């Protein structure tokens, strides 16, 4: 009976979402307060009912109700509690429900934090979000109902894919989906601005914090997924350019462009139609990602079981949502004004060239991901596009971007004098260059490697990172110079300034991680008898054999590897080779000792046949690899800092003033 309650709640939520999608938008068009007034209650209502449905599914999982087909397919009575909960989104139907739930969370947040916005704006934004929600609920109810019963009930479930039985599953999908879905807010703001014909700087100011929050979630979500792959897949890679990874990377790149473009639009009221297009594009790519993952058009390790019916539905939905918004764009965007003045060379133009690079990067990932599909559809046969292509294309796009990332924060709004800027950065650039050329020589020694090879790619990576760091130092010096108390001057800088710099520093840290792990990682694939040792990168690894250890729903062969450096014990690692009871699927669980400057990473291969307890063991020393995720975290924190800035705090006066006089922002630009 309880699962039917969940089903029923989804139906009620669908009707609420449909009403939300129609009435307030109609109300805004007819200027009817009553119709616009239903927007908030309906947004809360759909949230309550979807949350109810989600709770019902959670209950079915936690109580092992195998009469629900979805539970029977994705859980098992032996599955530990936290994974039984996370298994809710371990498959297609439940992850859709999570998606719908998070969308309603965003809509409810918009309803709550929009008291200062004009009523018709709120009505339109919530209305657009309601339409999207209705589409997803309809999709779920027609093709992917998580509450479908299995009669007779299964005695036990088929178990969750062992690869997913990991803390990563608990946190990665919700974070990533928060990002994906969060771009719907920026999208809804853009659409309602187009609908209302009021595409001005205030629109940019309102949607900026929402976009940044979504971007923060997405950054964290992608980083978590990458970290999960790093320790779970057993060979220490952290990004594979798999179509599904690309599906999350494309909207992230475009979202990053959007954040920067919104800055120009807010400051200068310029390039509004471009910014609107980016807002539509970022969310469209989120939707497209859903399509790619769930329709089976591309091969991927992540893809859900495909069903052509679902593919058709999502494609239809894509065409309606994206097609309609692009049509609206083609109709309304030409009437958008030009905005304030700025020079060919100014912070604005640098931000916009960053936009060009990020959009091209996003489009390149898009083309690489879908090219096999295009070729096949055109009858040219099959081909594959993988990591080598993306790496070859990405580096040349990132180099100019990072160069401009260093210049951007130093350049003045509206107009910059090239000689002045050049003289300010020349020492910074020179020092970055010297460090980049010399550091690789020291690196080999520092990482105790046999050969301290110098490679141009490592030098290039370091140059990019230290260029960002140098520009940050120059910018800080410039801002903090002057008379008086340093602490006071530090306090006087806005949080959004610190946020921006922290995020950029995150990029530098990220590049250092990528560069050094690529350039200096040590990998050994060895056969180890009990008691054998091997020295790699200055560490001595000793293999103490494998013992059988029972886990909650698996049996693990747990290896013991002790690591010494200069006679001191530095790590006691326990890599596992698990066999899951229900599926019989083997899984390699690597053991990692993370460190600021290197990770020690050990994973078990196969036992060596006809030996006494010998195993194939993979040993990696990965210098600076954690900097990759530390960088991502810094980017996300930078985002959080910048939205904590007081100008985005919800106080009525500031925004009312801003909406009355978008010109004010021009002045601020000048003042800073």
How far is the C-alpha of 125 from the C-alpha of 187, rounded, in Å? 9
Among 341, 426, 453, 477, binds another protein (CB under 8 A): 341
323 binds another protein (CB under 8 A): yes
Q: 536 near 522, Cβ under 8 Å?
A: yes
At its nearest, how many Å lie between another protein and the CB of residue 388? Answer: 4
Give the footprint of another protein on residues 113-152 (CB under 8 A): none
587 binds another protein (CB under 8 A): no
Instruction: Give whichever of 78 and 533 is closer to another protein, judged by the CB atom.
Output: 533
Instruction: Give whichever of 19 and 284 is closer to another protein, judged by the CB atom.
Output: 284
383 binds another protein (CB under 8 A): yes
* Token pair 């291969």: residue: 605
At its nearest, how many Å lie between another protein and the CB of residue 521? Answer: 12
At its nearest, how many Å lie between another protein and the CB of residue 160? Answer: 18
Among 237, 437, 611, 652, binds another protein (CB under 8 A): 237
Among 120, 242, 558, 626, binds another protein (CB under 8 A): 242
Instruction: Give whichever of 33 and 477 is closer to another protein, judged by the CB atom.
Output: 477
550 binds another protein (CB under 8 A): no
Instruction: Give whichever of 143 and 303 is closer to another protein, judged by the CB atom.
Output: 303
Beta-carbon contacts of residue 440 (< 8 Å; ≥ 6 apart) = 452, 453, 454, 455, 458, 459, 462, 519
504 binds another protein (CB under 8 A): no
Give the footprint of another protein on residues 274-313 (CB under 8 A): 277, 280-281, 284, 291, 295-301, 303, 308, 311-312
388 binds another protein (CB under 8 A): yes
534 binds another protein (CB under 8 A): yes
At its nearest, how many Å lie between another protein and the CB of residue 291? Answer: 7
624 binds another protein (CB under 8 A): no
- The 3-class SS string of 571-598 reads EEECCEEEEECCCCCEEEECEEECCCCE
Task: For residue 148, count other CB atoms closer than 10 A to its CB.
Answer: 13
Give the footprint of another protein on residues 397-456 (CB under 8 A): 397, 413
Q: 513 near 598, Cβ under 8 Å?
A: no
329 binds another protein (CB under 8 A): yes
Kindly list the distances between the CA atom of residue 152 and the CA atoms of 58, 67, 68, 600, in Å, as whole numbers in the listed order.
21, 7, 10, 50
Among 32, 67, 364, 644, binds another protein (CB under 8 A): 364
How far is the C-alpha of 270 from the C-alpha of 458, rounded, in Å? 38
Measured N-to-C along each axis, helices 243-268 and 664-671 cross at an angle, to the nearest 10 degrees, of 90
Q: What share of the chain is helix, strand, coil (3-state, %, to 5)?
A: 65, 10, 25
Q: Tell me the DSSP string of 608-672.
A: PTTSSS-EEEEEEEEETTHHHHHHHHHHHHHHHHHHTSGGGS--HHHHHHHHH-TTHHHHHHHH-
At its nearest, how many Å lie between another protein and the CB of residue 381? Answer: 6
- Which of 583, 531, 535 is closest to 559 using CA atoms? 531
Tokens (6 digits) for 115: 């008291």
367 binds another protein (CB under 8 A): yes
Task: Name the DSSP class of 160.
Answer: -
Selected range binding another protein among 35-43, 139-147, 376-384, 596-604, rule: CB under 8 A:
376-384
Among 352, 546, 633, 643, binds another protein (CB under 8 A): 352
Among 116, 198, 489, 524, binds another protein (CB under 8 A): 524
Residue 569, classed as helix, strand or coil, is strand
Site for another protein (CB under 8 A): how many residues? 115
109 binds another protein (CB under 8 A): no
Tokens (6 digits) for 607: 């036992």
Among 142, 305, 338, 457, binds another protein (CB under 8 A): 338
């Amino acid at each position: 009976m309880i699962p039917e309650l969940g089903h029923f709640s989804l139906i009620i939520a669908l009707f609420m979402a449909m009403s939300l999608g129609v009435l307030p938008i109609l109300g805004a068009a007819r200027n009817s307060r009553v119709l616009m007034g239903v927007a908030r209650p309906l947004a809360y209502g759909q949230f309550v009912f979807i949350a109810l449905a989600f709770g019902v599914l959670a209950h079915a999982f936690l109580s092992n109700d195998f009469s629900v087909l979805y539970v029977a397919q994705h859980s098992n009575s032996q599955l530990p509690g936290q994974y039984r909960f996370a298994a809710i989104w371990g498959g297609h139907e439940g992850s859709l429900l999570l998606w719908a739930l998070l969308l309603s969370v965003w809509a409810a947040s918009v309803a709550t934090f929009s008291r200062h916005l004009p009523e018709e704006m709120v009505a339109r934004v919530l209305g657009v979000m309601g339409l999207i929600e209705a589409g997803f609920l309809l999709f779920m109810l027609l093709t992917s109902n998580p509450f479908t019963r299995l009669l007779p009930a299964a005695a036990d479930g088929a178990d969750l894919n062992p690869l997913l039985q990991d803390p990563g599953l608990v946190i990665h999908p919700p974070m990533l989906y928060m990002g994906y879905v969060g771009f719907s807010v920026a999208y809804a703001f853009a659409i309602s601005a187009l609908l209302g014909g009021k595409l001005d700087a205030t629109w940019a100011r309102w949607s900026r914090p929402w976009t940044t929050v979504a971007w923060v979630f997405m950054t964290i979500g992608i980083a978590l997924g990458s970290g999960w792959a790093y320790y779970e897949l057993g060979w220490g890679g952290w990004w594979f350019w798999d179509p599904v990874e690309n599906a999350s990377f494309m909207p992230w790149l475009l979202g990053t462009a959007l954040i920067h473009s919104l800055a120009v639009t807010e400051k200068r009221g310029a390039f509004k139609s471009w910014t609107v297009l980016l807002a539509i594009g970022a969310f469209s790519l989120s939707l497209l990602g859903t399509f790619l993952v769930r329709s089976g058009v591309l091969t991927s390790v992540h893809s859900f079981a495909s069903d052509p019916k679902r593919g058709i539905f999502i494609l239809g939905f894509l065409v309606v949502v994206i097609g309609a918004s692009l049509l609206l764009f083609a109709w309304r965007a030409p009437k958008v004004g030009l905005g304030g003045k700025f020079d060919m060379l100014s912070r604005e133009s640098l931000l916009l060239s960053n936009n060009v690079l990020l959009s091209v990067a996003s489009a390149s990932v898009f083309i690489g991901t879908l090219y096999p599909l295009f070729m096949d559809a055109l009858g040219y046969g099959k081909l594959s596009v993988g990591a080598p292509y993306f790496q070859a294309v990405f580096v040349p796009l990132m180099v100019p971007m990072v160069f401009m990332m260093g210049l951007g924060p130093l350049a003045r709004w509206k107009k910059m004098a090239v000689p002045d800027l050049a003289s300010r950065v020349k020492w910074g650039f020179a020092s970055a260059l010297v460090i980049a050329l010399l550091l690789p020589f020291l690196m080999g020694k520092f990482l105790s490697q046999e050969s301290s090879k110098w490679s141009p790619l490592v030098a290039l990576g370091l140059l990019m990172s230290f260029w960002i760091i140098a520009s940050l130092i120059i910018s800080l010096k410039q801002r903090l110079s002057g008379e008086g108390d340093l602490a006071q001057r530090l306090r006087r800088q806005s949080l959004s300034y610190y946020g921006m710099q922290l995020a950029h520093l995150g990029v530098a840290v990220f590049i250092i991680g990528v560069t050094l792990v690529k350039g200096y990682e040590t990998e050994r694939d060895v056969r180890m008898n009990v008691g054998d040792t091997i020295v790699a990168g200055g560490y001595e690894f000793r293999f103490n054999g494998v013992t059988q250890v029972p886990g909650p729903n698996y049996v693990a062969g747990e290896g013991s590897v002790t690591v010494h450096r200069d006679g001191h014990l530095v790590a006691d690692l326990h890599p596992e080779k698990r066999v899951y009871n229900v599926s019989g699927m083997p899984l390699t669980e690597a053991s990692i000792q993370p460190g600021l400057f290197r990770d020690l990473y050990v994973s078990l291969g196969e036992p060596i046949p006809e030996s006494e307890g010998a195993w194939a063991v993979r040993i990696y020393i990965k210098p600076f690899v954690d900097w990759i995720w530390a960088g991502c975290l810094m980017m996300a924190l930078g985002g959080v800092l910048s939205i904590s800035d007081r100008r985005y705090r919800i106080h009525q006066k500031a925004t009312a003033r801003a909406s009355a006089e978008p010109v004010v922002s021009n002045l601020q630009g000048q003042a800073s």
